[in-house]
A and B are shown apart, each in its own frame.
Chain A
Amino acid sequence: MEEEELDRIAVERCLQGDVDAFGTLIERYQRPVFNTVLHMVGDAEDAREVCQQAFMKAFEHLASYDRDRKFFSWIYRVAVNESINHIKARKPHETLDERLQHPRANPAERFEELEEWTHLHEAIMNLEPNYRAVVILRHFVHFSYNEIAEILSLPEKTVKSRLFTARQQLREALEAKGHGHQ
């Protein structure tokens, strides 16, 4: 049975009063949703809380969910919106430090990869949240343009243009940190 069909059955059961059926939906989506939210908010503890809120909200509004649409699109949309609300509500994200070293090995040994990742993380966190969402859904969760358009309720061409702009900003941010080649 396809996942979409399994989702539909779980939603029906849930709407008939079987609350445990919602648990199967959480089980199916908690990993990709958590990873999406983690990269949106940039902190694992915040991501845990935002994910819980998103699933709670999805449950509370399950009756209003349009069952002609895919459940995964809807749950991702709830999670992305919840992440954006969380980002807006908290203080501005502080930039991550650049120098990260191995703690107990050779103190002179620099971890270039760690630094690279830190710069990438910092650059992602500096993207405007609507642009950040497109990058995460495309490159971390590997959705198609069409699926991202459905999740974010945007025309596909807007998804493409936001992705282009976002990657350009990431590229500029990484270049400013000295990545790339001459």
Chain B
Amino acid sequence: MAISDEEVVKQLESVPQVEPPDLRGAVMGRLRGAPRPAGVGGAPRRRHVLAGLAWAAAIVIVVAVVFIERSSLPWQHTEATLAPALPFDRWKVVTRIGVPQEGRLTVRRNGDQFAIQPYAFNGEPISVAWDQKKLEMSNVLSDTGGPEVVILQRKSGAAGWAVIQLNIGGHEVLKTAISID
């Protein structure tokens, strides 16, 4: 079997670009809490230190209050604090990617389960595909107020990476690889 260089290039260049997550919000949030680098002007460092001390004091007070309140809880409350099964939309987001004007895919995780939540911007029929050697379907949630959500279960012993693909209107929109470790 032979494959030409042009075919390799064609395959490479047909890989769609995906929409990034909100990096600006995430980075700016982290930067506002981080010390400024040397050479970057702005507020004097002393103010950061004072603000830091004020936060530290506030955290100590909150922790102390929580500790005192916890220690006064009667034992019979222990059972009531056990968390019920989390609804899928409260699971941790593993990845959220999209393609402009087409659709997006959100993958959430709870232990060995993954919720695959597809969305089409144009309302066309959606389907998802996944690595069936590593993941198996355990449920389909249709009462989500949107497209069906597929719940996948990691297969026993499966590890590494698994590909998820989003198809809209019968054509592939995006693929992503998620870690299932």
Contacts and interface: CB of A to CB of B under 8 A. Distances in A.
Contacts, number: 199
Contacts of A100: 129-132, 163, 165
Contacts of B172: 113-114, 117
B161 A94 contact: yes
B40 A62 contact: yes
Contact of A44 (B30, B127, B176): B176
Contact of A63 (B2, B39, B94, B179): B39
Please tell me the size bucket of the interface on B: 35 or more
A61 interface: yes
Contact of B132 (A30, A39, A94, A101): A101
A23 B24 contact: yes
Interface in B79-126: 94-97
Contacts of B21: 34, 48
Contacts of B20: 30-31, 33-35, 48, 51
Contact of A97 (B26, B134, B178): B134
Interface stretch (B4-12, B48-56, B65-73): B4-12
Nearest to B28: A23
A100 B40 CA distance: 50
Contact of B24 (A16, A27, A56): A27
Please tell me the size bucket of the interface on A: 35 or more
Nearest to B35: A60
A16 B41 contact: yes
A97 B133 contact: yes
A72 interface: no
Interface of B: 1-5, 7-9, 11-13, 15, 17-21, 23-24, 26-28, 30-32, 34, 36-43, 94-97, 127-134, 137, 140, 150, 159-163, 165, 172, 175-179
